[in-house]
Structure 1
Amino acid sequence: MSPLRGIALKLTAVFLFMIMASLIKATADVVPPGEAVFFRSFFAIPVILVWLVLQGEVATGLRVKSRWGHFWRGASGAAAMVLSFASLGMLPLPEVTAIGYAAPLITVALAAWLLGERVRLFRWSMVLVGLVGVLIVLSPRLSIGSDVERLAAIGAALALASAALRSLAQVYIRKLVQFETTSSIVFYFSLTCTLLSLVTLPWGWVMPGPADAAMLIGAGIVGGIAQIFLTTAYRHAPASLIAPFDYASMLFALIIGYVVFEEVPTAVMLAGSTVVIGAGVAIIWRERALGLKRGTARSLKSPHG
């Protein structure tokens, strides 16, 4: 274990994912979201395959035990990407990022419902606080008057639906990791998303110009590299330690949104995202504390329990 290396890898992955989202956003006015998912997924596959070869994990990366488990994880993830990419064309980058923070909160509820995970009062309380923060972020989009406001409201709804589907994908991942390798989950996610994105062909794919094509291909390559950095980060540090660094994406989104897209964050968006981030960090901190207590208790037991 090397915690500092794990943190550095996680921050790099978060930054690269934000670069990927920025490249998708830059092409959103021209390229349909389903086509963007194809580029994002297809051009990540060569990167992942090279990584598997270098790790000596090609055999394990291509071997699966639950084809349907990988399919449903890929289907929910692909749908989440389509909705997220569509929302990027309608809302500022920081706002889409803030609404996306609802995903881990929804995952808590879905894990309790679908996986039977025990959720204590503290976590439920923080989930409710976090959802209040999401509502604060969404509040300016609840009034629909002009066409611009209507488009923004649709974008907010798509971003929230994307967060819900991402949380469902996380539930499938929690089930898959019990009997599948990390490399197979990473590879078949990109493969499944690539194939499912072709379903959107009838909805008007376009031939992107050289600049747009370069950005879309770049999004796929960067996304693949980010996935590798993220996976490697968890090999060097506990999940409870590096999980809070997910929220560094807001800092990156604010900087990129302002510098590249001239997006100025509103006070309401910042206030709401602060509440959501606070609730998320509180859940992570609490679970880490409980994990340490459980570990201490186990270490104090005799060999016979």
Structure 2
Amino acid sequence: MSPLRGILLKLISVLVFIAMAALIKATAAHVPPGEAVFFRSFFAIPVILVWLAWRRELRSGVRVASPLGHFWRGLLGTAAMGLGFAGLGMLPLPEVTAIGYASPILTVVFAAMFLGERVRAFRIAAVAMGLAGVLIVLSPRLGGIGVASDREALGAMVVLMGAVCSSLAQVFVRKLVASERTSAIVFWFSVTASVLSLISLPFGWVVPAPREAALLVLAGVLGGVGQVFLTSSYRFADAGVIAPFEYASMIFAIGIGYVFFGEVPTLIMLGGAALVISAGVLIIWREHQLGLERARQRKAMTPQG
């Protein structure tokens, strides 16, 4: 275990994923979301295969025990990705990032609904606080504060629906990790998303300009690289240590959004994001504590001698 190394790998993965989102955003005016999903997924596959070959896990790393589980995870994950990419064409990068923070909060709700996980007062309060933060972020776009254009309102709802799909996908991931290797989940998601994205082919795919094509291919490569760094980070530190650093994405999103797109976040958006981040950190901390408690209980029940 090397927590500092794990944290560093996590931060690199977060930066890489934000850079990937920025590349998708740079092409969003011309390239439809379904086509962007294809590039992002298809060109991530070679990176993942090279990584597995380097680790000598090329055969074992893609073996599956629950093909149907991978399909449903892929379907929901592809929908989440497509909706998120659509939102990048309508809203500033930091705002899309902030609304996306609703996903781990909603995962707590859906895990209780579909997996029977017990959610007590502490996490219920954290979920309520996080959802309040999401509403604050959404309010300017939905007419609660100021005047919002129809396009911005649509963008806000599209990104929120993407967060809902992402949280449902995470519920399937929680079931899959009981029987599947992480590398298999990552690999087959990219394959499934590549295939499912082709369904959108009749709905307006375009021939990208050379610059757009290069950006899209790079986005796919970065998606694969980010996944490798993310997966590797959990080899060096516990999830409870690493997970909170996901919220460094807001810092990266604000910086990249300002430098490359001239986007300046509003105080309302920052305030709502801070509330959502606080709720997310509390949920991560509580789930880490519950994990430690379950581990102690299992150890106490193990026969000694």
Same fold per TM (> 0.5)?
A: yes
Provide, for residues 184-217 of structure 1, a one-character-per-residue CA deviation record: whole Å limited to 9, x for no partner. 1111000000000000001110000111000000
Counterparts of residues 103-142 of structure 1 (less than 5 Å): 103-142=103-142
**Shift in Å at residue 58 of structure 1?**
1.1
- Normalising by structure 2, report the TM-score: 0.95
Q: Is the contact between residue 37 and residue 197 of structure 1 (CA under 8 Å) also seen in structure 2?
A: yes
Amino acid at match of 1:34: G
* Alignment partners' CA distance in 2, 1:187 and 1:117: 27
Aligned residues: 304
Q: Is the contact between residue 87 and residue 156 of structure 1 (CA under 8 Å) also seen in structure 2?
A: yes
**Shift in Å at residue 302 of structure 1?**
8.7
- Normalising by structure 1, report the TM-score: 0.95
Distance 1:205 1:108, change over 3 A: same
Q: Is the contact between residue 137 and residue 269 of structure 1 (CA under 8 Å) also seen in structure 2?
A: yes
* Alignment partners' CA distance in 2, 1:64 and 1:268: 45
Q: Percent identical across equivalent pairs?
A: 62
Amino acid at match of 1:193: A
The equivalent residue for 1:276 is: 276
**Shift in Å at residue 304 of structure 1?**
5.2
Q: Is the contact between residue 140 and residue 147 of structure 2 (CA under 8 Å) also seen in structure 1?
A: no
**Shift in Å at residue 183 of structure 1?**
1.2
Q: Is the contact between residue 60 and residue 183 of structure 1 (CA under 8 Å) also seen in structure 2?
A: no
Q: Is the contact between residue 94 and residue 253 of structure 2 (CA under 8 Å) also seen in structure 1?
A: yes
Provide, for residues 219-241 of structure 1, a one-character-per-residue CA deviation record: whole Å limited to 9, x for no partner. 00000000000000011110011
* Alignment partners' CA distance in 2, 1:77 and 1:292: 29
> Structure 2, unaligned stretches of length 5 or more?
none
Counterparts of residues 199-278 of structure 1 (less than 5 Å): 199-278=199-278
Helix, strand or coil: the match of 2:140? helix
Distance 1:294 1:80, change over 3 A: closer
Aligned-residue CA RMSD (Å): 1.9
Helix, strand or coil: the match of 1:58? coil
> Structure 1, unaligned stretches of length 5 or more?
none
The equivalent residue for 1:157 is: 157
* Alignment partners' CA distance in 1, 2:266 and 2:147: 20
The equivalent residue for 1:46 is: 46
Q: Is the contact between residue 141 and residue 147 of structure 2 (CA under 8 Å) also seen in structure 1?
A: no
The equivalent residue for 1:20 is: 20
Distance 1:20 1:75, change over 3 A: same
Distance 1:66 1:287, change over 3 A: closer
